[in-house]
Amino acid sequence: MRIYRLAQEVEDPWWYDAEDESQNERIQKYRSKFNELKSINDVGVLIPHIVKAAQKEYDEWDEAKIDTYAGGGICHFIADQIASILNDNGIACFTQSSSFEQHVYCIVQVREGIYEVDIHHSLYETGGGFSWNKRPDIHFNQGDVSISELSSNFDDISEYIEDYEDL
């Protein structure tokens, strides 16, 4: 089981050298961070809340409110809701703008690694750039929330978050 292997690695990492003090500090920091992090299973438990919050954002989306939406879509609002729900439940979550398309999604740091959590914009809006239109009559369900592993190492967070600083 993957969790067991990770726990074993934290207790007795393969790179451990007891005589290297800087390495001992790094191991303590690694163990401490591992113990602070939640599991990807904790994210799964919150999917119904994510769906409900996304539906509320979609239902309140009024394309006529140019000052609020400026012709743009709502992916950033949905990502903000996902991040808020996860962070409020002790799960390290960050919103991130895509480098490949005009889209905002979430990056999650959990014991099992780094994951993307998203409801892809193609489900609820059409368009491109800063010109998006609402797809009519959308009703989100739990299957619309995608959770994709980006790395199996939770320490790789800085590879996926712009300007990430380990606190």
Residue 167 lies in a domain: no
pLDDT of residue 22: 66
Residue 166 lies in a domain: no
**According to the per-residue pLDDT averaged within each range, which of 19-23, 26-30, 95-99, 121-125 is highest?**
121-125
Is 92 found in the same domain as 21? no
Structure tokens at 77: 């609002």
Is 76 found in the same domain as 7? no
Is 50 found in the same domain as 21? no
Question: Does pLDDT of 88 surpass 80?
Answer: yes
Is 50 found in the same domain as 20? no
Residue 103 lies in a domain: yes
> pTM (2 decimals)?
0.81
pLDDT single digits (tens) 45-80? 999 999 999 999 999 988 777 656 566 788 999 999
Residue 46 lies in a domain: yes
Name 97's Cβ contacts closer than 8 Å, sequence gap at least 6.
Answer: 103, 104, 162
Is 97 found in the same domain as 55? yes
The span from the CA of 93 to the CA of 41, in Å, is 14
pLDDT band at 10 (very low <50, low <70, confident <90, very high): low
Is 51 found in the same domain as 123? yes
Is 71 found in the same domain as 110? yes
Structural domain boundaries enclosing 106: 38-159
Domains of the chain: total: 2
Is 149 found in the same domain as 92? yes
Please report which helix (H) or strand (E) contains residue 115, including its range. strand 113-118
Is 52 found in the same domain as 32? no
Q: Exposed/middle/buried for 10, CB within 10 Å: 0-12, 13-18, 19+?
A: middle
Is 94 found in the same domain as 25? no
